Structure 1
């Protein structure tokens, strides 16, 4: 019963610290991303109503990066407080060993490793593709424009030609417009002294309203044209459909990476496998790294934990580049990096358990 209470207490402390660290780091990373998307929205490259959606989808990708380091720092912060308040000393006096400290944190790490695997193999690439598609599609819709001042512009493989002499600063008002349409359903020419256009931010459709103009309907080469004068004439112009193709390996589906034999795809696959493994290895490192005397303070070992994580993540990044360049065999992958830090974790655990001291004494 006492063990269950202790496990729940340690689990609660570790989870609370992990949530706090994750929230702070996620807010920092999203703020930089939000500034970038905000500048795109201000420049007219991204509709404002999509801003929060794009940032929210980006958060799913950032969680994949943050869970390993936030778990390491969260466990170290939780145990640092327990060491500072001498609660660990009290637990040790009651017979709680190193295994008793590990048990709740291993449970937390297994749950987060499962979440990380889901983010790494499915949710992360999916959200990245959605964000990439939204940004590219928004840029396409904004950049698509049938009118350019003083220039004839063909759209629809030459089925329509648009011309305007001048446009207002916000491109909403037009002057001296010429439109030629060559379509099986309708063929003719439209001229107007003035007009205006409005853009649907979601579909990219442009609604064009012309005023004080003439409409010529007929077959080229024949003289029997029908001429109609109008006060107002409306037309809609749809943007061209574009097939979206993800141009980055990190956005590819996991099944596509498994089916590919390209070194870049194999490197991305090994990185995705590394994410949940890193969660488990870092929690093994967190417990011995957080050991401190009550006088050293709660944050005494945090710098050491950050340093260990930076070395770990940089070696994984270097290994990924090595696989992509063909310098590291795909069979070896990034397992050598995990082996190094697993060996370090086991050595620190053995030191904390007194195995080296007993070995020297014997």
Structure 2
């Protein structure tokens, strides 16, 4: 009987854990579905503004936007975890379910257990995201942006525009179909190193770069080529019924190798560079990036404690104050880590001790908040602050209503 009773308790505990996690899934996914597209949309508008005059294909912009997903997912993940846990606890507290659980002998530590396990799992995910996915994605985005803005030409010809592909190669066309890439009334002028000039024209054709990106291929129908040699001899080649391919060898500049910036290095590469006798980058820059990643990932494991504490505080006060204060704490914490890492990158401080100090202070604050909320579940540790915010909001609303009531009316006619 004792074994059966223990099995029943474990089964009930597992059912309650699944119930709590299922409640947090909807706000967690909803927050990601709102915050991540909003951040990407803001960057998309900036990309369109930056690349407006470069004639970059829409597909390239979409590929750059995908490269930014790991970066913005790293910003949205802590917010989604906090809001997911916060709204579950606020709902349980508002409906007196929290008190019912505690009266049944379930402690706040046990109620928070599934959220802490979720935070630990997301900390592992965040470690891989910050340490490996983001460096590769950041490099891919920079390479694509450089290719669009700095590498020169991408084998597209805006109608009526003269494109200087190289020092001795000029391409132009009267019309270009953006969907099929078909060109009309094409003219290409190329001057060889020995002084030979080649002028190639065609009524219709297509122009593209090879997969290696170093060779330009022109395919023309009804093509004509005029070759003017340095000695004055002129030769013409005409093709009326078959296509004529004309390769132009180009040497396009390649983007720099990955790893020139510490933010493009994986966590393992940062650690190896830190231990190297002669690191390629300053030690403080490497340490700032390395430890900021590790501590941001570890913060996910203690973040549910803050969310649970503020969720309890939301029982008597308006819930938006708890969300506002929690998000503000997360923003300040993240900015403190970024600022400390930036000071290390600039070589002004050794960032290791300040970064660990910020993390330990945040962790201690979360545990203190949770301990206070566990002792007094009817009143959260920040309820006095929420009351002040609510009173200030009410006074401001009354003042605005009073101003609108006594506003003089304009006379008619």
Per the TM superposition, whether the score is higher than 0.5 is yes
Runs (5+) with no aligned partner, structure 1: 356-362
- Residue 136 (structure 2) pairs with residue 126 (structure 1): yes
Which residue of structure 2 aligns with residue 72 of structure 1? 82
Which residue of structure 2 aligns with residue 251 of structure 1? 264
**Following TM superposition, by how much is the alpha carbon of 1:121 offset from its aligned partner in structure 2, in angstroms?**
0.8
Q: 1:178/1:294 Cα in 2 relative to 1: closer, same or farther (>3 Å)?
A: closer
Alignment of 1:1-362 (within 5 A): 1-39=11-49, 42-140=52-150, 143=153, 155=166, 161-162=168-169, 168=174, 178-182=189-193, 188-191=196-199, 198-200=206-208, 203=211, 205-207=216-218, 209=220, 211-216=223-228, 227-230=235-238, 234-245=245-256, 246=258, 248-258=261-271, 259=273, 260=279, 262=282, 263-292=284-313, 294-354=315-375
**Which gives a bigger RCO, structure 1 or 2 (Cα 8 Å, sep 6+)?**
1
Deviations 1:88-134 (A, max 9, x none): 12111211111112100011001111110010111111112122222
Q: Which secondary structure does the structure 2 equivalent of 1:190 belong to?
A: strand
**Following TM superposition, by how much is the alpha carbon of 1:28 offset from its aligned partner in structure 2, in angstroms?**
0.9
**Following TM superposition, by how much is the alpha carbon of 1:150 offset from its aligned partner in structure 2, in angstroms?**
12
Structure 1 distance, partners of 2:29, 2:201, is 62
Structure 2 distance, partners of 1:175, 1:198, is 9
**Following TM superposition, by how much is the alpha carbon of 1:25 offset from its aligned partner in structure 2, in angstroms?**
0.7
Structure 2 distance, partners of 1:331, 1:292, is 34
Structure 2 distance, partners of 1:127, 1:303, is 31
**Following TM superposition, by how much is the alpha carbon of 1:296 offset from its aligned partner in structure 2, in angstroms?**
2.8
Contact 2:82/2:303, CA 8 A, preserved across alignment: yes
Which residue of structure 2 aligns with residue 359 of structure 1? none
Structure 2 distance, partners of 1:73, 1:202, is 49
Structure 1 distance, partners of 2:93, 2:239, is 83
Structure 1 distance, partners of 2:53, 2:210, is 17
Contact 2:67/2:141, CA 8 A, preserved across alignment: yes
Q: Which secondary structure does the structure 2 equivalent of 1:230 belong to?
A: strand
Deviations 1:329-360 (A, max 9, x none): 244151110111111122222323339xxxxx
TM-score, normalising length from structure 1?
0.80
Superposed CA RMSD: 3.6
Q: 1:29/1:88 Cα in 2 relative to 1: closer, same or farther (>3 Å)?
A: same
Contact 1:144/1:239, CA 8 A, preserved across alignment: no
After alignment, is 189-198 or 132-141 more displaced? 189-198
